[in-house]
Amino acid sequence: MTTKKKTTNILKKIGLYTLLLIGVFISVFPFYWMFIGATNPSGQIFSIPPNLTPGDHFFENLRNLNETVGIWRVMMNSLIITLVFTLFSVIICSAAGYAFAKYQFKGREAIFFALLLAIMIPYHVTLIPLFQLMADLGWLNTYQAVILPNLAYPFAIFLMRQNMRSLPDSLLEAARVDGAGEFRIFFTVVLPTMRPALAAVAIFLFMFQWNNFLWPLVVLGSSDMYTLPVALSSLVGLSRVDYGQIMLGTTLSTLPIMIFFLLLQRQFISGILGGSVKE
């Protein structure tokens, strides 16, 4: 390789890494500014020049936030709702995806097509019927009213179905020959094999429910039942806004998602790629 080519390759790498560093800065800086804002009083967050160093108001912001919205109760509500929803929704969506991928039954394609159409229905269209249903059942202002309506999430079923199609039929037939029943095959053979896909779906469902704002706002009537997004929205008043509390609340809201994703990121990437496998 000539000196000119070596120089060209070095310049290309320098340009590539420079672009990557700029991309990392653009992606990370909003989170850094949010964390810094959580440690400063409201008046210093939008100061000019901006304050980019940690302050000493973290615990004061935390105390004020707890007095305003009861942050620990709100966090507990969100954790209970999100974890229960994620657990049961992963099982239901996995079972549905397995059925669509590996079972032959009349109307399978039509039902799956209807499921895809359900993804295209605007979420707001279903609010009034769902609210009326929850009212008729006496479930308003309860955990189950937030958890149950979206358990069979269409996109998660679609993603699991795409991953289940790559599962070898010979593996299932071998289990049946050994005398395993269908439920045992699903829980002891299918689910362990689909761990990357399960991790991807779990992350998606966790993020969906953790960030869900509109439906909890509609169905939850008392502040002690609020989830984190609903409680944080109440911090924006008509006359005065404490941005220190908002930044701290947003930080607390972001941390569980980041932790959950970092724990399962490798499986998440594998599961997303698995969905592209064709028959």
What pLDDT is recorded for position 124?
84
| Structure confidence by residue, pLDDT tens digits, 27-60 | 889 888 889 888 888 877 777 787 788 888 889 9
Domain assignment present for residue 209? The answer is yes
| Structure confidence by residue, pLDDT tens digits, 87-132 | 999 999 999 999 999 988 888 889 988 888 888 888 888 899 999 9
Q: What angle do CA 246, 251, 255 make, to 5 degrees?
A: 155
From first CA to last CA, the distance across the chain in angstroms is 44
Domain assignment present for residue 156? The answer is yes
- Distance CA(80)–CA(146), nearest Å, equals 11
Domain assignment present for residue 49? The answer is no
Residue type, 219: V
Token digits of residue 37: 């804002």
Structural domain including 68 reads: 61-274
Which residues lie closer than 8 Å to 244 by C-beta, 6 or more apart?
37, 38, 40, 41, 42, 45, 57, 60, 61, 64
What pLDDT is recorded for position 10?
84
Q: How many residues does the chain have?
A: 279
| Structure confidence by residue, pLDDT tens digits, 167-193 | 888 888 888 888 888 899 999 989 888
Which CATH number characterizes residue 161's domain?
1.10.3720.10
Residue type, 94: S
The residue among 207, 193, 196, 195 whose CA lies nearest residue 272 is: 196
pTM of the model: 0.85
Domain assignment present for residue 78? The answer is yes
Q: How many domains does the chain have?
A: 1
Domain assignment present for residue 133? The answer is yes
Domain assignment present for residue 279? The answer is no
Q: Radius of gyration over alpha carbons of the chain, in Å?
A: 24
Say whether 241 sits in a helix, a strand or coil: strand
Domain assignment present for residue 43? The answer is no
Helix axes 154-164, 195-210, angle to 10 degrees: 170
The residue among 267, 84, 271, 266 whose CA lies nearest residue 160 is: 271
Determine how many CB atoms are found less than 10 A away from the CB of residue 275: 19
Sign of the alpha-carbon torsion through 201, 205, 79, 30:
positive
| Structure confidence by residue, pLDDT tens digits, 223-235 | 899 999 999 988 8
Domain assignment present for residue 16? The answer is no
